[in-house]
Structures are given as C-alpha cells and as structure tokens.
Structure 1
Amino acid sequence: MSGVISKAIQILDLLLPHGTEKDMGVTEISKALGMPVQSVHRILSSLSEHGFVTQDPKTKRYKLGLSIMKYGFLMWDSIMLRTVARPYMEELSRLTKETVYLSVRENAEGIYIDSVDSPQILKISEPIGLRLPLFIGASNRVILAFLSPSIQKSLMDSFNWDEIPALKPLTREYIEQELMNIRQKGYAVTADEATEGTTGIGAPIFSYENTVIGSLNVAGPSIRFGEQNMEKYSNLAKKYADLISNELGYRGRSRQE
C-alpha cells in the first residue's frame, strides 16, 4: 500500500504546474516516472475518482483536480487563522487575565492549535493538539452550533452517545438544546466537562466563505467566572472573534451591529 501511495504522490508532483497549467498523457507520465503504463492508468483512475486529477474527455490528458486546491485552501486557512488571531488572543488574555485558546474543527473533533497562557498562578493550561468530540467543551460546541444543519446532523448521528469522554453526563437531547441556545446568544459556556473546576467561553470564527472555521476561547478556574466576569468575558470573546472573522474576509453581518 505504501508503494502505491508513493507512486500516487510522484504522479501528483509531476502534474504540478510551473507557471502555466500542466497536463500529461498516461504514456508520457509512465516514461517520465519509469512506471508501467497499467500502474499509471490504475493510479490515475483512483486519483480521478476522488477529484485529485481530472481528465480532458477529448485529449485524454490529465491535470490536477479541484481536490488539491481544496486541501491547499484548508491549509492556507489554518496558517492564516493562527497568524491573524495571535495578536487578538494576546489582547484578550491581557484583558481577562485568563488563558485563551484558538480551536479548529477536524472531522468530528475540535483541536487546540494555539494558546496564550494566563499570567496568574492558578490557571488552565491544556496542551496544543488536544482533541475532543465537538459536543464537549465551549470551544468545540460553539463550532458545532454554527455548522450547516446537514453537517451538524451527520456529525450528531456519528457520535457514540453511550461512550462519552466527559466528566458529566451529556445526552443528545441536551446537546441539541444547547446548540439552539448557542446560536441565539452567539457564544457557548461550559463548566466541568473536560477538566474539573474549570469554565470555558467560546465564540465562533468565520472565514471569507462565511462558514465557521474555528473558535476563540477564554478558560479558567470556575471560581473566577462569577456573573460579572462571565458577562464581561463573553462580550470580549465575541468582540475579538468578530474582529478575527472580519480580518479573514467574513462578509456576514456582525453579531454586534
């Protein structure tokens, strides 16, 4: 299997444009890479099925497909998100004196991709790369809440509700009601779900395509998240998430207008 994957990568590399669009025939690719024609044809068929290459029906020549562009844009979005978000994260942490996280979605999970630690001795400090199902924690649940209804339902159907890695019982009915509340408020709040004695506030970040691509989160010990701070931190999280979204090219109407 690894040999086939290696050959597929070689073919994709060969079809990479250099200034102008590049297309090649099966025999041409076979000679360039020293691969049997049948092998090249078989690999191209598989790549074509998944949109990584496309074949011109007239010339029968192949070029890179839209799937390559899609994954390229996803990677670019991730890099851009971290670059754009960092100064806002630092400002949000300075104003709240709490830990601030940046999260993104990968399939049915949310992942921390950056953080700014609280300057206080008692603080939350979760590792970058931490993964949890999208229905656990404010940082993840707010992403789930703003996904399209079809994607949201598909993800909800895929979760194993009998084996939930949370510190408190969570049911599908409870989460569905929570998602409705989050969409109305524009942010999510959770406590004692991933880590005992902690509270998190998450606000959604949207891309230039007007789709949710991540969340900005304030997290800390629950004893510091009283009613007054909860309102202040929620407003700040929404404000800075909106600023990040706007800088990424989000064209939707700001929740604060």
Structure 2
Amino acid sequence: MSEQVEVKSKKTIKSVEKAFALIDYLAQTQEDQGVTEISSAMQTGVSATYHMLNTLKEAGIIEQNSLTKKYRLGLKLWQIGMLAYRQNQLASAMKPFLRKLMLETGETANLTVLDNNKIVYIAQEESDHLLKMFTKIGASAPLHCTGAGKVLLAYLPEYKQKQILDEIELKPFTSKTLTTEKDLREEMQRIRNKGYGTDDEERELGVSCVGAPIFGPDQKVVACISVSGPKERFSEENKNKWIEVVMAIAKEATEYIQDLDAKRG
C-alpha cells in the first residue's frame, strides 16, 4: 500500500539539466561571470545562456552585479540550502522517535514538515507488516486531507492560515475529504484543542493516520510526527491507544529539540 506511485522513467528535461549545470558552474567559480564567459564554459549559445540567466535571476537563484552586469549565485539558493540542511538535521535527530513510534504501534511512522503549501515527508520508519503504508522521502501531499497536513496548518498564525487557504484548492480525494474552509477551520480548532489530528480515509480510502505536532525552542511547530496504516487496523481501541502514544512521543521529541537548543545556546 503506498501513497505515491514511484516513477521509474529516466527521461529528463534538458533545460533543467542545463540550468543546474549553470548553477554548478557559478558555484565553482571564485569571481562573478559574464554572459560570454558562461556561454563559452557551458558550450551554449549566448542568446540561450542569457535567457537561462534571466530566468534564474527572476527566481532569485542568481544575482547580477548592477555595475559590471556579471552574475553570481543568489541569496535564495543559500536559503534553500540552509532549509535542506536543517531538515536533514531534524530528520536525523528524530529517527529514534520514529523507531519508537513504529515499534509501539506496529504501523509506519512519518516525519513531515510544511513546505510550499504542502507537507513533505523528510523521514519514515516503515512498519514490519506486509500490508503497510509507504511514502517516498521527499514526496509531498496536500494539507487539507492528511492528518499531518491539518496539524501543521492548525498551528500556524491566523494570517498565515488565511494566506494558505486563499492559495490552495480544497480538492476532494474521497467522499470524506473536507472541501469547505468552514469545515477545515472547525477541524483545525479541534486539533488545537485536543493536541492531535487524524485522517480517516480523507485522502485515500482504506488508509488512516494520527499525527501530533513537534514544537521548536520558540514554541512554533517545526514538524509533525504521525503514524499511518490500513483502516482495518485502526479500530477505535487501537486508534485511541495510538493517539496517546503519538502525543507522548511528540512531547518527548519536543523536549529533546528544546533541550538540545538550550545546550547549544
């Protein structure tokens, strides 16, 4: 059982390959580079190189010196790199907690973060069951129909919630998906009151999930830890037990992160 079909095709988009090659070239050079220099090094035409540079510049990936008109890597690329570094650190630090959650519930344990109005899976401990949930690391999923997504959304500031809800589509995946802002806001309020969120076949029929927030040193939610599996194993008795387990381990993970930050400080 999987939330995502793995694509095995090795087809690539040449323009994307060239863009990354250009970024890699600028990363290796010590000085700003002009269009002609880049064109020669990349073995691409000047016009094509210029258009590629302009596209990356508009995205903030590279910058242009206003005096020399030459190019260098942009601040946004550094920000992306730092975000990836922090997520990798977080994923590594949370592995023992994911392992504990999987062992105590028998189901797949997930660690997700909010990124670009979606949840992204950054770590996972797979269940030992033959029939189990599996999601590729780095895969994304909607906010409104996943237990983890609703948790991450619920603990955002009101202005950020509004911004996201204005931008995303509350698309129905099953008959149980929340498709109105009113229903979703009521669900978020319940999550804040109870301290956990659930997905009861809202994204995929036959799949259930329970998740709880992990808080950072500033009391802002940094991730959601969740357990997911086949609906048939999420009986009311099991679900109630697993809610307690998920919340307890989320609390332990929060304390670990906050203690670690205090020691570093």
TM-score (norm 1): 0.75
Distance 1:133 1:60 in 2: 41
Cα shift at 1:221: 1.2
1:240 correspondence with 2:252: yes
Equivalent position of 1:15 in the other structure: 26
SS in 1 for 2:93: helix
Distance 1:105 1:250 in 2: 24
The alignment yields a C-alpha RMSD, in angstroms, of 3.5
**1:90-239 counterparts in 2 under 5 A?**
90-118=99-127, 125-129=132-136, 132-161=141-170, 163-168=171-176, 170=178, 171-194=180-203, 200-206=209-215, 212-219=221-228, 221-225=234-238, 229=241, 232-239=244-251
1:55 correspondence with 2:64: yes
SS in 2 for 1:217: strand
Q: How many residues align?
A: 245
Equivalent position of 2:8 in the other structure: none
Unaligned stretches of 5+ residues in structure 2: 1-11
Partners of 1:139 and 1:215 within 8 A in 2 = yes
Partners of 1:99 and 1:125 within 8 A in 2 = yes
Unaligned stretches of 5+ residues in structure 1: 252-257
Distance 1:179 1:153 in 2: 12
Distance 1:232 1:24 in 2: 57
1:225 partner amino acid: N
Partners of 2:105 and 2:242 within 8 A in 1 = no
Equivalent position of 2:95 in the other structure: 86
Cα shift at 1:133: 2.0
Cα shift at 1:157: 2.7
Partners of 1:54 and 1:65 within 8 A in 2 = yes
Identity of paired residues, percent?
Answer: 28
Q: 1:176 to 1:116 in 2, by over 3 A?
A: same
Distance 1:231 1:221 in 2: 11
Cα shift at 1:193: 3.0
